[in-house]
Homo-oligomer: A and B are copies of this chain.
């Protein structure tokens, strides 16, 4: 496998078995291992029917954004409820599998397949067909954006591959 894996890259789709277990993609496990967080920190994606997940690095991002607020302010209440209250810490067994609780299943609309989408310091959990649709939309928007920016110079938007 390639050099230092400190970021979640690429997309994988795995199966949920009868007991609700899913294998976390091995490359992602590798990243989590390096990250040092024992388990998987999951938090709902705000604008999509999906779930964000990661390790310490992801968790710290959330914690840090909360730390700016006074602990007894209304904003802290709201944010901590939405971010920490809705988060889950899942354990990963020795075979690299986890079980998504009902909350996450419902959140992402999971049935028997899960798509893991690498996004650098975190990754997302999607129901495959839902993600396919989302990716289509993202790609077309991206094309539009590139065209718009392309006129001003190529900087700003990286080359886009279809991604498999």
Chain B residues with CB below 8 A from A145, complex form: 75, 78-79
CB-based contact B9/A88 at 8 Å: yes
* A68 in contact with B156 given A138-B81, A139-B82 (CB within 8 Å): yes
Chain A residues close to B by CB (< 8 Å):
1-3, 5, 7-11, 27, 36-41, 43, 45-48, 52, 61-63, 65-66, 68, 70-72, 74-92, 103, 117-122, 124, 134-135, 137-139, 141-143, 145-146, 155-160, 162-164
SS class, residues of chain A in contact with chain B: mixed
Chain B residues with CB below 8 A from A38, complex form: 2-3
Chain B residues with CB below 8 A from A141, complex form: 78
Known pairs A47-B160, A79-B145, A120-B163 / 7 extra A-B pairs, C-beta < 8 Å: A10-B88, A45-B77, A77-B119, A77-B138, A82-B138, A85-B124, A85-B135
Q: CA separation between A155 and B37, bound complex, in Å?
A: 24
A99 to chain B, nearest CB (A): 13
Q: CA separation between A102 and B70, bound complex, in Å?
A: 30
Chain B residues with CB below 8 A from A74, complex form: 47
A140 to chain B, nearest CB (A): 9
Chain B residues with CB below 8 A from A92, complex form: 2
A94 to chain B, nearest CB (A): 13
CB-based contact A117/B81 at 8 Å: yes
